[in-house]
Amino acid sequence: MSTEAKLELDGKVYSLPTVEGSEHEKAIDISNLRNLTGYITLDDGYANTGSCKSAITFIDGERGILRYRGIPIEELAEKSTFIETAFLIIYGHLPTRAELKRFSDLLTENAILHEDLKYHFEGFPPHAHPMAILSAMINAASCFDPTLMQRFDNGRFDLHAARLISQVRTIAAFSYRKSRGLPIIYPKSAYKYTANFLHMMFSMPYEDYEIKPEVVRALDLIFLLHADHEQNCSTATVRMVASSQANLFASAAAGVCALWGPLHGGANQAVVEMLEEIHRSGDDGSRFITAVKDKSSGKRLMGFGHRVYKNYDPRAKIIKQACDNLLNVLQISDPLLDVAKHLEETALKDPYFIERKLYPNVDFYSGIIMRAIGIPIEMFPVIFAIGRMPGWIANYKEIAEDPKSRIYRPRQIYIGPTLQHYVPLHQRKNTGASAPKKNAA
Ligand code: CMC
């Protein structure tokens, strides 16, 4: 049944069509609103704005549901692998045995970076953040494939996508090695995706890293759980850049930058830094929770809260369990896990968090798993980026394949000065308006 929304403005009534998704989410289609009425909508932070129709990921934040291409995240976490899930997200269906083999072979064939790219790593200072290196190097890698510079090339999409998924992992490992002054370790074709990443991160030229299946499984699960999450900040950025018909690598590099911030993919790093600070100060988390509730403290409980989930993030549930399992198997007792559990327990009983529907998100426990594996803290957002690559690629593909796709170009409500005129330099007075301070470095 089609419904129309009625809008009354300046004494006139307008009819606006509505749209319903396959899971019954409803939207008012305002694409003709300005033409009809002269008005635009204003939605700070886009909390009520659907920026696109997408067939990739479904989230019901009220019920804590996440599905990739219709399949619940819990089933994929239990039965699938990151690479199989990447195929599902990009191509829309679970691969047959032959399709999976072809996809895996493409990843293996494209794992090595152009040798000249090694020199680009030399230019970064020793303590450069690996997210800066990752973003820069994804862009740099695109220069080595002239076919990428052409407009979306359907015949080469499979190759470009596989190259990006495979090389982002190689770049990530190289950037870690560079930041530690360690020799670069090349991928080995005998290893599967996640084992190969661990090999490139931790092997030495004279000694291979011991690849433990439990560790591979835990990291593979982290990649899988991060593989897509509909129109989050970085994916929306990728779509924004893709809408200008920029190439896949350029769009993904922009995604890395958007992901880096502590409110998004940088939260996993921020969580562990927060837990370390709490632990160092001898607090069990109670004092910190009190400080968080005082808005003037400027503190947030990192790893808690979500724009869409108003219930427990289903990924957090899975990660919490995986965290317990891995630490048990590796016989690690991490005091930060105790602090995290106590924080969670306290927050979930506290009216501040209950009223605002703030629950642990995917980043709350993932850092503790990564610490246990030996991944350094500054690499945590990079791990998120490796995992999110299939989602970015699938969203890029949706834009590129849509013949009706238009450039993303929001409007604004201008609140600056109305018409004024240029004043010659010698007539200007100091008004105390904002300007760089004298001692600005
Ligand atoms: N700790 C304390 N208070 C919080 C938190 C938090 N982590 N998150 C939200 N609030 C409060 C916020 O102060 C506001 O209170 P009030 O209504 O009194 O002003 C209310 O809850 C609503 O918050 P908001 O900032 O308007 O919510 P948002 O949807 O704009 O932001 C968020 C979502 C994820 C950025 C935010 O919850 C946050 O900063 N969380 C901590 C950072 C974090 O864990 N980020 C990872 C997100 S999940 C992975 C990903 O997608 O990257």
Q: Is 255 in the pocket of ligand 1 (CB under 6 A)?
A: no
Distance of CA 393 to the CA centre of its chain: 12
Of 108-122, 173-187, 218-232, give the range with the top mean pLDDT.
218-232
Q: Is 319 in the pocket of ligand 1 (CB under 6 A)?
A: no
Please, which pLDDT band fits residue 27 given cuts at 50, 70 and 90? very high
Q: Is 293 in the pocket of ligand 1 (CB under 6 A)?
A: no
C-beta pairs of 129-132 under 8 Å, 24+ apart in sequence: 129/260, 129/378, 130/172, 130/175, 130/176, 130/179, 130/378, 130/379, 130/382, 131/256, 131/257, 131/259, 131/260, 131/266, 131/381, 131/382, 131/385
Ligand 1 centre to CA of 255 (Å) is: 20
Task: Report which DSSP code applies to 64.
Answer: T
Q: How is the beta sheet containing 71-72 ordered, strand by strand?
A: 57-60, 65-68, 71-72
Question: Among the atoms of ligand 1, which is closest to the Cα of residue 232?
Answer: 51
Residue nearest to atom 15 of ligand 1 (CA): 356
Cα distance between residue 177 and residue 82, in whole Å: 24
Check: CB of residue 107 under 8 Å from CB of residue 135.
no
- pLDDT, residue 394, reads 98
- pLDDT, residue 436, reads 85
Residue nearest to atom 45 of ligand 1 (CA): 263
> Hey, which of 271, 358, 384 would you mutate to test ligand 1's pocket, going by the most ligand atoms within 8 Å of its Cβ?
358
Choice among 129, 220, 306, 313 that is catalytic: 306
Asked whether the predicted pLDDT for residue 194 surpasses 80, the reply is yes
Give the SS3 label for residue 8. strand
- pLDDT, residue 2, reads 64
The verdict on whether 306 is a catalytic residue reads yes
Check: CB of residue 111 under 8 Å from CB of residue 166.
yes
- Choice among 29-33, 351-355, 429-433 with the minimum mean pLDDT: 429-433
Check: CB of residue 382 under 8 Å from CB of residue 246.
no
The verdict on whether 24 is a catalytic residue reads no
Q: Is 40 in the pocket of ligand 1 (CB under 6 A)?
A: no
- Choice among 85-89, 135-139, 402-406, 435-439 with the minimum mean pLDDT: 435-439
Asked whether the predicted pLDDT for residue 187 surpasses 90, the reply is yes
Ligand 1 centre to CA of 263 (Å) is: 8
**What pLDDT digit, counting tens, does each position of 345-398 carry?**
999 999 999 999 999 999 999 999 999 999 999 999 999 999 999 999 999 999
Choice among 127, 363, 402, 421 that is catalytic: 363
